[in-house]
Structure 1
């Protein structure tokens, strides 16, 4: 028998849900007396957070479906109605975009319907769009906010609801908590929430398609005319994969705008396909396993450079072929960040020959490479480190711009890149355009490969080598025990390890963003936001190695991100790599103690 609480939520679902498919799912489980499954689907609900919503498309309050989307849209519109007056709601409005996943268009239409009936002007794209188009459109039309319906590079059964505020950046606290409260206060579907039949007849509904051309024009403006001329004279062709997503038409149009040769698209992955038939994980971060068809296309066409977007085109992967060995190298996000960061500075210097970079800023998340800091120190500009996630970099960039500062570039190691401030979020389309333009420039100026340029960057600014991975830990108490041991290392609170390998490598600074300790600051207090609900400790060693240990917010993992940040002139790259690997092995054994704690290593 169902418990009284479960009976209540089953009845709520049967009363409120208007989708035949999900309604049938719940009815079938009820008839089968599958109370365990019903409890799993109905007793908890997808929590709305700073990333909005993301989860499996299935029935129940714990899934992505019509009812949960309707409830979310009702809560979001209620909260926005509290924040903005009627005139702003009718004149500035909100933008909705969607990708090619199952149900994405339907979820966007339900949401648009809720907002139209609540008196908002609504910009609803009629075509599939890349995620960066939504934050761009918010700023282009001065909207109050926006939503992109996408699960990015998640498996095909997932979908998501990514929310942006009026500054064009992803929402951060307190908006997320306040929206969640408003959702919980508006769970029952409003009158006509489900009635989308005459949505497209509404005077308040507009197709923002003109913003697509404006976006392409803005990307073109970030490539100076001299470099567009170089592009036009190059015969360089690149292989491109849209990974069964939405990126191809946007990459095609931006390449044309800056006079690049058309991409050689991987035909099997060029069009949006919600089944993702040729890849197990539609995520170019997976490396060669996700790029098999791209490599095949490159080999057959004689191309040596591959670019690949994830399905919503906010991330970008790069791979190149070594002409000597014939082997393919898939670049890490940190390596692409180094290349694009250098390129951003190079373009700025070209358009500002006076060479004053003192008003310019570079940003990266705290677990990403510190190569931008090395650029800043040598070139006389500023570097800001943020918490992980583009929501922090986007909002920080907005603050800097409001204070008259110039943000050149921001990135995170998970192949996310923000080139210029046209989009205050990661943008795999503009990043593709700039990597291709950089390739043409390097070819025209010495026939230099990306790998050769990367080595030159390391020689000039200091070698930066990364060693990152993770361990699975399925028991939260064990995770807590591991981190609490590090915080009480000498038997008292806030006493941490001071070295590894019996004193061979000494620790210089410790930053603990769980309790606010940062020994690099004069007052010993962290500058970055502190969160007691997650673990994150960074150790900086005297020899330049920086390693961050942190828990994942979505998976049962302890992640580590290590980087050797060498000084310019330290050119024994192999020695630095060996030292890094030796130190990481010791840190894992001494700090995480995987054997004692039954941790499971990442499988290769």
Structure 2
């Protein structure tokens, strides 16, 4: 204990020298005075890591957490990186936005101070903003970069720091490492770093008042362009899950004459405490319960939702008296089908491309092939899909759409990141169009299954106590006999891809076509019964996620295959490894079948 306390003393002293936030200073002082060395070690001995997702974590005092000081440090490193490496573009400035979470406005102000210190103009979005407005704004205003303070769908105690470059995409390798190195060289707060009211020639507030109408106009024109004749959607219920979508989508709908909808009263106003749900993620079971109650009370049969920063979109439909919740894969196929129909009048010489992530459904690739559209697989995350779309455009492709199964959809004509506002408007346009064909979103999905095969998925996660445990799990899998014997329980393994080690048994040179990443953990296997599954360690949460899909001529066969696959993963990989990994005992497949694990 004495040696630990001795090593902590200079870290405590440094924190108290640098931190001018009375709340977090007090936290460290109280931990010091009460002798909580172990907790101080967790807080101070490791730094929160800056990567391609920027920063995201729990708000608390300490170098390992999200707080005013670590935001200042990240911003100073980013500002110095931009000044040193892109000085000719510095006059374009940086857009800084924030959502409605606790401390988001304060963190945004502190970030602005760093750019101002480097004489980089700051276009400050004063007022809680939807995340897609920032990547849209970077392109619209030809800014050098953008910063969005948000933790997206994380719990109330979290916050984050998301960075976009001049191409409107999230930063990617190797830029993230270069910015991280710059942060490490600029840790001590600069003069005026703690100013709470920046001003001067380089500070331009209220930009959101100018940018938001341009963004919503762009969304409207794009969604309208996907139908020949604008039609009104059927009545629906909308929830922004206590987030900033409620400040944008209802007003956008009403401005277009869409008035037959109801907002969930308890969730329509931004509330950083998320009082009606512990996990404000529309993927989570129960997240849309209040929307269902509202819809049932009012006799409406369609629900749409955004997550708290409005970059994700979800929908549900009442089918024969029960609610059907569309997965991200369902919605990706539905939106793609609608957009493909819009391409019928496009110039035949135009090369069209679509993307989805390696953990998303294989259905998009089949749909694209049937239409003669180029398909490309991407690594997980829109930092990859956005930049891949840009490269395809540079090669002469028109990229119409990209998505991943975690309720994220990108429309490059609006922005190069996931965009829940545009997704909602395109979905409403599509739903109105399908209605003229006697179809609902659910029956349209069944029509697509009949054409391309029933694609059943079972996506969920194991909770991991820490990143080291997650890495140890993957090491144990690789050390096992599975790759050499090419078997997993009752399944034959037809192909094994390891994106960490850069191995793919399905290519001629045994190297994956996607870029390998030794800093991540990700395996994909192709099995009997047309099963493909991926298991990966999350980069932003304490989870090991898995994604299982089977395609069959019937829902029953596909459902049985994904359930058998999960049982094999549990028996062969998870249970022998560690009791520290926990998981849900009742899991829904994409069609609603509940798998019970005893």
TM-score over 0.5 (shorter chain) = yes
Distance (Å, rounded) in 2 between the aligned partners of 1:443 and 1:499: 45
Does the Cα contact within 8 Å between 1:468 and 1:562 map onto a contact in 2? yes
Match of 2:32 in 1: 30
Match of 1:495 in 2: 484
The partner residue of 1:67 within 61, 66, 69 is: 69
Distance (Å, rounded) in 1 between the aligned partners of 2:189 and 2:55: 18
Q: How does 1:131-280 map onto structure 2 within 5 Å?
A: 131-197=131-197, 199-208=198-207, 209-224=209-224, 227=227, 229-232=229-232, 236-256=234-254, 259-261=257-259, 263-280=261-278
Label 1:601 to 1:147 Cα distance change in 2 as closer, same or farther (>3 A). same
Deviation of 1:62 after TM superposition, in Å, equals 1.8
Match of 2:81 in 1: 79
The partner residue of 2:458 within 463, 467, 471 is: 467
> Is 1:576 matched up with 2:562?
no
Match of 2:53 in 1: 51
Deviation of 1:445 after TM superposition, in Å, equals 2.0
Distance (Å, rounded) in 2 between the aligned partners of 1:357 and 1:517: 37
Distance (Å, rounded) in 2 between the aligned partners of 1:475 and 1:39: 15
Does the Cα contact within 8 Å between 1:217 and 1:257 map onto a contact in 2? no
Deviation of 1:477 after TM superposition, in Å, equals 7.6
Distance (Å, rounded) in 2 between the aligned partners of 1:365 and 1:8: 45
Distance (Å, rounded) in 1 between the aligned partners of 2:298 and 2:228: 24
Distance (Å, rounded) in 2 between the aligned partners of 1:455 and 1:541: 25
Distance (Å, rounded) in 2 between the aligned partners of 1:22 and 1:313: 29
Deviations 1:135-180 (A, max 9, x none): 0000001111111001111111111111111111111111111111
Label 1:516 to 1:127 Cα distance change in 2 as closer, same or farther (>3 A). same
The partner residue of 1:594 within 572, 575, 578 is: 575
The partner residue of 1:402 within 394, 397, 409 is: 394
Local SS of the residue matching 1:433? helix
Q: How does 1:555-570 map onto structure 2 within 5 Å?
A: 555-566=541-552, 570=553
Deviation of 1:293 after TM superposition, in Å, equals 1.2
Match of 2:322 in 1: 327
> Is 1:339 matched up with 2:339?
no
Does the Cα contact within 8 Å between 1:220 and 1:257 map onto a contact in 2? no
Label 1:559 to 1:204 Cα distance change in 2 as closer, same or farther (>3 A). closer
Does the Cα contact within 8 Å between 2:216 and 2:252 map onto a contact in 1? yes
Distance (Å, rounded) in 1 between the aligned partners of 2:68 and 2:545: 35
> Is 1:455 matched up with 2:436?
no
Distance (Å, rounded) in 2 between the aligned partners of 1:600 and 1:58: 26
Local SS of the residue matching 2:284? helix
Local SS of the residue matching 2:13? helix
> Is 1:433 matched up with 2:425?
yes
Deviation of 1:36 after TM superposition, in Å, equals 2.7
Match of 1:21 in 2: 23
Match of 2:305 in 1: 308
Q: Which moved more, 1:154-163 or 1:208-217?
A: 208-217
Distance (Å, rounded) in 1 between the aligned partners of 2:412 and 2:146: 20
Match of 1:387 in 2: 379
What is the alpha-carbon root mean square deviation over aligned residues?
Answer: 2.4
5+ unaligned residues in a row in structure 2: which ranges?
587-598
The partner residue of 1:412 within 401, 404, 407 is: 404
Label 1:105 to 1:539 Cα distance change in 2 as closer, same or farther (>3 A). same
Deviations 1:26-56 (A, max 9, x none): 2222333333332222222211111111112
Count of matched residue positions in the alignment of Structure 1 and Structure 2: 582
Match of 1:375 in 2: 367
Deviation of 1:560 after TM superposition, in Å, equals 2.3
Does the Cα contact within 8 Å between 1:116 and 1:205 map onto a contact in 2? no
Deviations 1:300-358 (A, max 9, x none): 22110111111000011111111x2x111111111111111111211222x42x6x486
The partner residue of 2:532 within 541, 546, 555 is: 546
> Is 1:363 matched up with 2:345?
no
Local SS of the residue matching 1:367? coil
Deviations 1:259-282 (A, max 9, x none): 534531111111111111111211
Does the Cα contact within 8 Å between 2:351 and 2:373 map onto a contact in 1? yes
The partner residue of 1:522 within 508, 511, 521 is: 508
Local SS of the residue matching 1:314? coil
Label 1:258 to 1:163 Cα distance change in 2 as closer, same or farther (>3 A). same
Does the Cα contact within 8 Å between 2:455 and 2:558 map onto a contact in 1? no
TM-score, normalisation: structure 1: 0.91
Match of 1:89 in 2: 90
Match of 1:508 in 2: 494
